[in-house]
Amino acid sequence: MKISKSQQVIYVAIASNVAIGISKFVAAGVTGSSAMLSEGIHSLVDTGNELLLLLGVKRSKHPADEWHPFGYGKAMYFWAFMVALQVFSLGGGISLYHGIMGLKDPPPLGDPTWNYLVLAVAAICECLSWRVSHRALVGSDLSGGNLWRAVQSSPDATAFTVFMEDSVALIGIVLATLGIGLSHAFGNPYFDPAASIAIGLVLIGAAFVLGRRCSRLLVGESIDREQIVRIRKVIAAEPAVESVGNLLTMQLGPENTLLTAAVRFQRRLSPDEVEKAIGRLENAIRSQYPFVRHMYLESGALKASASSMPSPMRNITNPRTNEAGP
């Protein structure tokens, strides 16, 4: 069975988080570090998140049916939103809790060697996973080399969710290292739980970004504006087209977009010529933008032709809705 790029990103992240999580919990048990315990919880939550994303990938690949004629692509966005809620409640909430409890009763300082070794291994593993998710995200046509733009515009929930998780994990490792290091440098055990609180706040911030992005996709976000402009130019370049009206799009999944456009063709064209022009437009758009899986073109010229025909013929030549197969 062939593994998609989205699944590859998830499998790499799962392997990394399982190994890191086990080592963090062992180190937290040996040293009593609140920051290390928070990091262990963080890795455990991330592993659960990746499993939810795998479920989303599986659900999103179900073929279209009578009740879901456009397919199940948005299932990916739903499960990514569940991941955001889990990061907020379990990752951020539990880290804050342990940090606050640690401030009330800080554990005695112990030998930090185990913590530093585990954090170093965790940093290496997380960097490897981050590199894979970074490549998947920046490699999209929408990024333009800009990471923030890629996160905000990518329709691939798997790529931007795993990338955010890996980025936050690396920030958490830095914060945990600082908390443990400052505690031993100044002989003050309060730096360690303070780092746990900082990790919790970072997780909550990441959950907010992820939740906002997934909610936009769930409620029917359009494709990138630059892509809409380019598609409009493709349609306008067709010699048979007189003008292009409303052009609307909706993300139905990572590689599944709905496109509707009101197109006015040259009035001198016959219905058959308009039909051929629509076919050329479909081929031109799909060749450049294969993710446009469903295409509906409303022809103003056909409307005009239908209005001049006898009543029985109008149902045949009403505005043509043309769907491109998946």
Query: Where in the chain is CATH 1.20.1510.10?
Result: 5-218
Q: How far is CA 245 from the centre of its chain?
A: 30
pLDDT at 232: 94
Q: Alpha-carbon Rg of the chain, whole angstroms?
A: 26
pLDDT class for 3, splitting at 50, 70, 90? low
Residue 132, amino acid? V
3-class state of residue 245 by DSSP: strand
What are the angstrom distances between the C-alpha of 265 and each of 240, 242, 262, 270, 323? 6, 5, 10, 10, 18
Given a cut of 60, whether residue 315 has pLDDT beyond it is no
For residues 199 and 244, the answer to whether their CB atoms sit within 8 Å is: no
Lowest-confidence segment of 107-121, 217-231, 238-252 by average pLDDT: 107-121
Top pLDDT among 93 and 317 is at: 93
Q: Report the predicted TM-score, pTM, of the whole model to 2 decimal places.
A: 0.77
In the chain, which segments carry CATH 3.30.70.1350? Answer: 225-313
Phi, psi of 245 (to 5 degrees): -90, -135
Q: What is the pLDDT of residue 77?
A: 92
Topology (CATH level 3) of domain 5-218: Alpha-lytic protease prodomain-like (1.20.1510)
Of 59-68, 166-175, 307-316, minimum mean pLDDT range = 307-316
Domain 225-313 has CATH 3.40.50.720: no
Segment 278-301 shows an average pLDDT of 87
